[in-house]
Amino acid sequence: DQQVKQNSPSLSVQEGRISILNCDYTNSMFDYFLWYKKYPAEGPTFLISISSIKDKNEDGRFTVFLNKSAKHLSLHIVPSQPGDSAVYFCAAPLPQSNTGKLIFGQGTTLQVKP
């Protein structure tokens, strides 16, 4: 059972434009979400997070939106830069668990073209 889903395996955008990465979840017990970025031959690194008490969180060029009724979140990158090319994972902590136990989506590979 894939509780966190990223249905778009890949996305290609032009430098300077907006990148929108989507994520859906099925477990209504999830109350916190994170986005990780992964470059080849490196481990995932934390990018941005959002609590279910919010519907938006912004950090520089990165904004995450949460729609609880639709069980959907999205990551917006504006403006996109070639260095943003990477695999992006959304993730949620296992309900009632402590740090480090995350359920990840399948990932979306973002390519930003110069």
Partner 1 sequence: ETGVTQSPTHLIKTRGQQVTLRCSSQSGHNTVSWYQQALGQGPQFIFQYYREEENGRGNFPPRFSGLQFPNYSSELNVNALELDDSALYLCASSLGGTGSATNEKLFFGSGTQLSVL
Q: Which residues bind partner 1 (CB under 8 A)?
A: 4, 6, 9, 32, 34, 41-46, 49, 89, 91, 93-94, 97-107
CA distance 90 to 100: 14
Q: 45-51 and 108-113: which strand pairing?
A: unpaired
- DSSP helix/strand/coil, 100: coil
Q: Least distance from C-beta 98 to partner 1, angstroms?
A: 6
> Under a CB-based contact definition with an 8 Å cutoff, are residues 110 and 15 in contact?
no
User: Which residue number, 19 or 93, has a Cβ lying nearer to partner 1?
Assistant: 93
User: Which residue number, 11 or 94, has a Cβ lying nearer to partner 1?
Assistant: 94
User: Which residue number, 52 or 79, has a Cβ lying nearer to partner 1?
Assistant: 52
94 phi and psi angles, rounded to 5 deg = -55, 130
Q: Least distance from C-beta 38 to partner 1, angstroms?
A: 8
Residue type, 74: S
Q: Least distance from C-beta 49 to partner 1, angstroms?
A: 6
Q: Least distance from C-beta 45 to partner 1, angstroms?
A: 7
CA distance 102 to 41: 21
User: Which residue number, 42 or 69, has a Cβ lying nearer to partner 1?
Assistant: 42
